[in-house]
Chains A and B, each alone.
Chain A
């Protein structure tokens, strides 16, 4: 089972790493960046909602709830800014594969219970947040043209870093790697 988790985490990581493919040829434009941000947040909101319902440890449940709150808030800011800038979030291969990775992760989590669920969810959260931070630093922030969009991405970063640290501490409590 943990092999499957690793595969799923790898899917998300490679989806986000694919954003660096943009860097070589066509960099993502602002509309695509907005689309990637919305997709990335939605993926973690969906997983968080499931964890709120199904996690067995109170700490993991609380973490899931926190992910829903924070990523919903970040998404609201992103959508508000996109509306203000008349920027319609645009689909891209990266956004597509993020959504696919998210759907696969949720489908996998739904087959798990108890401690196995908690571990799979938290392992995925660690990989996911690390990948999002890398994508922000290497692709999204450097390619954002609009100053307000760039500022929003930079402003979201500390929350993702705090989530990563929190997920890692849960991972070690759960006896993960």
Chain B
């Protein structure tokens, strides 16, 4: 079972990775161009919990749980409802450290560090 789950996870990672690469092909190989990063919402956690990015980069939150989540930094960004299997993305224009939570499950915590 664990194996089936990890195979599934690996397949998903491939799909997600593929998407990122496709987005990458459009730009960020050249230095200074914007990149795309993925944060997975799974097992009621943000993974990775801390993500470091550069100004202008995009972060995509992908919900792999059975229940809906949000990515919310009060006054800075708020995904609203992210349904299971759905995703939400946000472009970070200015530098700073932004702690955020899931409004539905406040024990879920993460932070985005924009350099």
Instruction: Point out residues on A near B: beta carbons under 8 Å.
Output: 66, 69-70, 73-74, 77, 147, 150-152, 154-156, 158-159, 161-162, 165-166
Contacts and interface: CB of A to CB of B under 8 A. Distances in A.
Interface in B80-96: 83-84
A147 B4 contact: yes
B6 to A, nearest CB: 11
Closest 8 CB pairs of A and B: A70-B67, A158-B43, A158-B44, A73-B67, A77-B66, A147-B4, A162-B44, A159-B67
A165 B44 CA distance: 12
Contacts of A165: 107
B15 interface: no
Contact of B84 (A73, A147, A161): A73
B66 A154 contact: no
Interface in B47-87: 65-68, 83-84
Interface residues on B, range: 10 to 19
Interface string B97-113: 00000001101000000
Of B1, B4, B66, B104, chain A has the most CB atoms within 10 Å of the CB of B66
20 contacts: A69-B68, A70-B67, A70-B104, A73-B66, A73-B67, A73-B68, A147-B1, A151-B1, A154-B1, A154-B5, A155-B43, A155-B65, A155-B66, A158-B43, A158-B65, A159-B66, A162-B107, A165-B107, A166-B105, A166-B107
